[in-house]
Each structure stands twice: as C-alpha cells, then as structure tokens.
DNA sequence: TTGTAAGCGTTATCAG
DNA sequence: CTGATAACGCTTACAA
C-alpha cells in the first residue's frame, strides 16, 4: 500500500471518520483493554467498511516485530524440500506469521547475501537448511539475538539452536545392512563435498559399518544437483565390472533418480547390474522403473515442526531449544536385488 | 535488528561516529549526488566496519516501496511449481528484490487472506497462479494500483495484467491428435472443477476436436490434489471395459502419476489397457514405469519471465503489459500405445 | 475511558 | 555540498 495510486486507508482515516483519536482506534483494533465495547464494535465495523489494511512496515518499525519468519533452503530444486516448504508455510499461516522462503542454491556467497537480506527485513526468526556445517545459522542467531532452527544439518553444530532432522545415519545403516544381506560387497555412498555436506554423519556411519564387515567403503563425492550427480555416477559406473560398485546409497530420491539415469546411460540395468537405495520416498518413487527402494520420511512434518519450534521460541524466548528427529521407515521395492555374478 | 538484544546499528550511529549529519550519511550510502567523493568513501567504510544493515521497514514506511514481490501459487505441492518458484526467486534476487512465496492450497478463502497479508506487507508487485478465473489478481491490481502478473491462467481474464502461460490448449490438441492417430476413440480429459480451473481453454479445445471427429468427449472432473485425482480416475477406470476411456490426457505429470496409480489399483496396465499423456515433463517422468508421454515445458523460464515482467512494470509503470507464451514440446515415450481390442 | 505526544529509522525538502 | 527538520503509520506511556 502507501504511496502511488492505491489510496490506502490508515488509522487516521478511521479516527477522523469517527471523530475520535488514533490511539483509541489502535486500542480498539487490537482488542486491548482501555476502550468501550460499543466503541470497539463501531471501530471494527468502519475499519472493515473503509477497507482498512494495517501497514506492517509501520508496525514493524514501531514494535521491532515483523511477523515474518525466514526459511532459507539450500536447494529448492530438490523435491524433498517442496513438502517441507508447504508444511512450513502452512504452520506459519496457521499461527499468524508469513514465511519468507528463499533458496541459496548451494552457493555459499548467495547464502550469506540472503541472510543479510532477511536480516534487514527484520524477520522474527529463521529456519534454515544450511549449505555446509550450519555454522552460519548459529552466527546469525548470535548476531541478531533472534531464534533460529536448523533443518537437516549436522548434529554437532546447532549448539544453541533448535534442530529438526531425519536420522540420516540410521537410514544409511539400515540401507547398508539391507545391501550386505543381499550379498553386495562393493557399495557406494553418494555424498556432497565435505564443505557443503550437511550430514557428515552419513559418511561416518557408512564407513564404520563397512569396515566392521571387513569391506572397503566407496564414497562417491558430487555436488548435489541432478546433472552433477549423473556425471559423477556415470564416471563410477563406467569402470570395469569387477571394480565398480554393485550398489549405491544416495542421500535423497532426487539423487537416486540421477543414479537411474547414469546407469541407463552406460547400459546398466537397475537392479540387475546396480542396486539403488534412495531416501525420502518422493511421490514418484513408487512409480519409477523399477520402483525405488528408499527410506520414507514425513517431509511435511519436518516443515511444520520447524515452523512450530521456531514460533514457540519467538513467542516465548525462554522456551528451551528442541531437538526433533522426524521418524522414517525403510521401504523395500524393486531397485535392490542380489548383486550381479560377474566376478 | 531492532528491539531485543541484537543491538542494531543505524544511520545515526554512523553519523555520530563521523561527526556528520544523518542526511549526509543517507545520501552517501545511496550513491546520490550531494556529497563529496571522499566523504562518501569514509561513510561507506565505517558503515561496513560498524556492520550497518539498513532497516527495510523504515525504508518501506518512508518510500512506500518494500523491495518485496509476492508470488502466490495455487498449489505448492505440484512439483511443476518448484521450478517456477526457483526461477522466480532467482530472477528477483538478480534484480535486487526479495520474493515472498506462499501457497493458497486451492482454497479460495485462504487465497483471499494471503492476498490481504501480502498487501499489508506492502509488496511492490504480485505474481499469481490464481485458483480459478484469476479475477482476484485483477481486483488486487486495481485496488492497490500495483502491477500484477498472472501465471498459467485463463486467457480471457487478465485484462490489464501481464500474463505468462504455457499454451495448454495447443498441448491438448497435440495430445488428442496423437491418441486419435493411435486409434483411440474413448478419450478422457482430466480437469479441475469449473470454479477452480485455471484453463477452461483446455476443455474447449478438447471438446471441439473430439466433436469434429464425431466422437464424444469424456471430461473427468476432479480436484487437483493427487489423492482426489486417484479417486476420480479409479472411479472412471472401474467402469466396464467397453465403456471406460482407453486414454487420458492430464493437465500435469503430477496428475498423470495419479493416473498410473489409479490404473494400478484396478489392475489395468499402462499403456496396454490405458494410455496416459501428461504435461510438464517433470524430471522423474522419463524414469517412470512406463516412461511418460508428455508435453515438455521450461518451468524455470516461466518463473523468470514472470519475475522479469513484473519487475519491469514496477520500475517503469508505463511499461505495457506483456503476454508471454512459454513454448513447449511434445515428447512421446512409453505411456501411449494403441488401444486395447476389447470391443 | 479517551486524547496527546513521542518516537521507531529512513528519506526528502529546504535553508544555510 | 551539508545539516536541520518534517513526515511515513503505527504503538505506547502518560496526561486529562
């Protein structure tokens, strides 16, 4: 509203039209004591009649609270985050907040810029799926004195922050066990480069488990965009049959799809030549050819939990920080099978 | 920022620390004439040193421009919009704006609420994939005097507005021709209920084409959530083999997936018993079982085009309204085949 | 119960 | 080229 054209109605207009003072209007509108019941009704009614819409910029400036919370996602292209965003947006709306959602696109400098932009917009709190370790979130919280919650980020970080995450390490263990039981020995784990990886725990869990079984773990490092992942996986799969992995674990169905593409591009078949395990259970995963074995997680719940935890802390700063682990469930479909017998 | 804890640095602090006036600081910071080059550099430098972040609420209040543009999506669960959002967010960032993205979840009252919320936040412009006819967008633009652009919405609406859309009617025609050529006679078109449908043109085009061929069109009406679509399609497919459709056209791969599920649930096979045509070509569509025949569209381009058109009009209100049709491409895969010979 | 006035951080107008 | 000063719309002491 404001300036050009859109002749906005302000409290002053209401006050003038009723011959009372602005503060009376303010009090009446916000259901605060200090104003007669009858007058309040009149005010409410004329406000509606005049089409009054409060100017949040003014409120923000005055109160220091904007009613906006930020949601900074590291990669909005990953369908995983779709439902997270939806859940977050929904919960915010339910509790009277607006979400400001944006994507850092796995670019650290851009993440920094966005953080600053959000700060200058006086967000009341921040939820963030950080690019790397998540230190940025902690720094932001310290610097602004406002609550932050991290989503799917390394456990040790966080510090003072609330955190919502899926148990990625457990998922890796379950998947690895499944593959070992099928007879696989050369298993690959797809992960992001250390600096940008949100969950080093996956690698640790995987490495430990493989080592325990006397096997050497293959860690396939790639940027987590679909094209980069296809390239990295194609490179791995192009190796001789007795050296390349016979199964891969990915950190998301999104990347599992890339594994399908890579396999296809070098003429391998899933699951005959390559077993694939995803993580997320996207709506399409059951419809793929073959249906994807994956780890189902309630993505909407992640979003609502993050929003809820964040808003709790905004409204009661004493609220202790939360550590929420959203449960998941391993679902076995057609993309995993016994390894090929090429050796 | 602002009140609690986070001791924010204001222009006053910079001015005080330099022993000059606030207005000099303002001028210097915004690269405006009226301040010496040397002083400007000093100001810029101390601003950075002190960690100054401008308070957008104050700027907004003063100037009436927030630097925020709204993006109101009718259904954020549809992966189609993922890339649109990403493109929009990207273009906004590139041009120095913040996007405020939210989902009306196909609920008209919620759409209205959100529109009001965005208005009270003084967005500089609005992009909207409206629920029904898109009249709401026009009304908003008229009422606020600010530019709006509609995304994928009925052609006749729009009026004064810029519009970005895919040529859905053309896609329907192409798909229908493809099915007719394969020999299908009972073809179903999946569409949203009239009140919420964004593109009645699809139905018109389909009906006309079928009638021209002396065939009677089947229009399957359903709410466009995955579960609702599965139900509606299951009901259609449960009919006797000589009555039910042998092919369906959907308005999105998202809904085509629902057709796969529905077919599966009543024991029909795609494409042997049912041909399916989607629209969008989502990343997963080529990996489905069977790979989906669909209409590819550059979704990111829709987002960037919308943002670009919107920001153009914000910055030059004289800018004439744009009608952008993002091109698409029909891609034939494995989900369409000759009809079954059950008659 | 109601009105008055100050002030949030910024920009813009207008003197010096 | 620089510095007071008012104003944007709202909230909140405090005074009537």
Tens digit of pLDDT for each residue in B76-89? 988 899 999 999 99
Does residue B49 carry a pLDDT above 70? Answer: yes
Does residue B303 carry a pLDDT above 90? Answer: yes
Q: D10 C1' – A58 CA distance, angstroms? A: 5
Residues 6+ apart with CB under 8 A from B239: none
Does residue B7 carry a pLDDT above 70? Answer: no
Q: Residue A285: its pLDDT value, please?
A: 93
Q: pLDDT (tens digit, 9 = 90+) per residue, B264-290?
A: 999 999 999 999 999 999 988 988 889
Q: C8 C1' – B125 CA distance, angstroms? A: 26
Does residue B2 carry a pLDDT above 50? Answer: no
CA-nearest residue to B85 within chain A is: A76
The bridge status of strand B187-191 relative to strand A323-326 is unpaired
Does residue B10 carry a pLDDT above 50? Answer: yes
| Site from A84, A122, A141 to mutate, B interface, most B CB atoms within 10 angstroms | A122
Q: pLDDT (tens digit, 9 = 90+) per residue, A64-110?
A: 999 999 999 999 988 899 999 999 999 999 999 999 999 999 999 99
Among candidate residues A137, A197, A136, the one with its CA nearest the CA of residue A163: A137
Q: pLDDT (tens digit, 9 = 90+) per residue, B96-153?
A: 999 999 999 999 999 999 999 999 999 999 999 999 888 899 999 998 999 999 999 8
| Contact status, residue A121 vs residue A69, Cβ threshold 8 Å | no
A61 — contact with chain B (CB < 8 Å)? Answer: yes
Q: Residue B194: its pLDDT value, please?
A: 85
Helix, strand, or coil here: A110? helix
Interface contact flag, A53 B120, Cβ < 8 Å = yes
Question: Which segments of chain A have a pLDDT < 70?
Answer: 1-7, 156-158, 342-343
| Contact status, residue A133 vs residue A161, Cβ threshold 8 Å | no
| Site from B50, B57, B107, B114 to mutate, A interface, most A CB atoms within 10 angstroms | B57
Four-CA torsion A331, A337, A339, A341, nearest 10 degrees: 170
Mean per-residue pLDDT, B218-246: 94
Q: Residue B103: its pLDDT value, please?
A: 96
Helix, strand, or coil here: B171? helix
Can you name the CATH fold of A168-296?
Answer: Rossmann fold (3.40.50)
Nearest nt to the A11 alpha carbon by C1': D9
Interface contact flag, A289 B284, Cβ < 8 Å = no
Q: Residue A156: its pLDDT value, please?
A: 67
Interface contact flag, B56 A2, Cβ < 8 Å = no
Q: Residue B1: its pLDDT value, please?
A: 36
Q: Tokens in use for B135?
A: 């009249």
Does residue B343 carry a pLDDT above 50? Answer: no
Which residues from A are below 8 Å from B227, CB to CB? Answer: none
B56 — contact with chain A (CB < 8 Å)? Answer: yes
Helix, strand, or coil here: B48? helix
Sequence-separated contacts (24+) of B302-305 with Cβ below 8 Å = B302/B83, B302/B84, B302/B87, B302/B151, B302/B152, B302/B164, B302/B165, B302/B166, B302/B326, B303/B83, B303/B84, B303/B85, B303/B86, B303/B87, B303/B88, B303/B89, B303/B90, B303/B91, B304/B87, B304/B88, B304/B90, B304/B91, B305/B87, B305/B164
Architecture in CATH for domain B11-53: Orthogonal Bundle (1.10)
Q: Which of A2, A103, A143 sits opposite B6 (nearest CB)?
A: A143
Q: Locate CATH 1.10.260 in chain B.
A: 11-53
Distance between alpha carbon B269 and the CA centroid of its chain, in Å?
Answer: 32
Q: Residue B321: its pLDDT value, please?
A: 83
Q: Locate CATH 3.40.50.2300 in chain A.
A: 64-166+298-328, 168-296
Which residues from A are below 8 Å from B29, CB to CB? Answer: none
What's the CATH code, domain B64-166+298-328?
Answer: 3.40.50.2300
Does residue B319 carry a pLDDT above 80? Answer: no
CA-nearest residue to A283 within chain B is: B257
Strand D nucleotides in reach of protein CB atoms, 7 A cut-off: 1-5, 7-13
CA-nearest residue to A124 within chain B is: B1
Distance CA A47, CA A63 (A): 22
**Secondary-structure percent of chain B, ordered helix, strand, coil, rounded to 5:** 45, 15, 40
Interface contact flag, B76 A53, Cβ < 8 Å = no
């Amino acid at each position: 509203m404001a300036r050009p054209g859109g002749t906005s109605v302000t409290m002053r207009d209401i006050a003038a039209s009723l011959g009372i003072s602005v503060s009376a209007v303010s009090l009446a509108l916000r259901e605060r004591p200090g104003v007669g019941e009858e007058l309040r009704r009149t005010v409410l009614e004329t406000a509606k009649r005049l089409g009054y819409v409060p100017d949040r910029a003014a409120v923000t400036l005055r109160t220091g609270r904007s009613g906006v919370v930020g949601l900074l996602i590291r990669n909005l292209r990953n369908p995983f985050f779709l439902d997270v965003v939806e859940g977050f947006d929904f919960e915010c709306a339910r509790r009277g907040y607006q979400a400001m959602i944006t994507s850092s696109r796995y670019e650290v400098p851009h993440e920094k810029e966005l953080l600053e932009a959000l700060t200058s917009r006086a967000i009341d709190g921040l939820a963030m799926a950080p690019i790397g370790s998540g230190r940025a979130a902690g720094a932001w919280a310290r610097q602004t004195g406002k609550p932050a919650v991290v989503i799917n980020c390394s456990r040790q970080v966080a510090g003072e922050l609330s955190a919502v995450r899926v148990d990625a390490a457990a998922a890796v263990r379950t998947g690895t066990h499944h593959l070992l039981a099928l007879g696989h020995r050369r298993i690959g784990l797809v992960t992001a480069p250390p600096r940008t990886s949100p969950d080093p725990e996956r690698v640790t869990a995987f490495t430990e488990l493989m080592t325990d079984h006397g096997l050497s773990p293959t860690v396939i490092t790639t940027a987590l965009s679909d094209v980069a992942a296809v390239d990295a996986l194609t490179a791995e799969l192009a190796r001789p049959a007795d050296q390349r992995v016979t199964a891969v674990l990915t950190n998301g169905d999104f990347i599992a799809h890339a594994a399908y593409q890579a396999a296809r591009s070098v003429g391998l078949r899933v699951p005959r030549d390559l077993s694939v395990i995803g993580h997320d259970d996207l709506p399409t995963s059951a419809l793929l050819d073959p249906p994807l074995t994956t780890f189902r997680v309630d993505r909407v719940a992640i979003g609502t939990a993050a929003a809820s935890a964040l808003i709790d802390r905004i409204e009661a700063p004493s609220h202790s920080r939360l550590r929420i682990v959203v449960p998941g469930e391993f679902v076995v479909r057609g993309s995993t099978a016994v390894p090929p017998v090429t050796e």
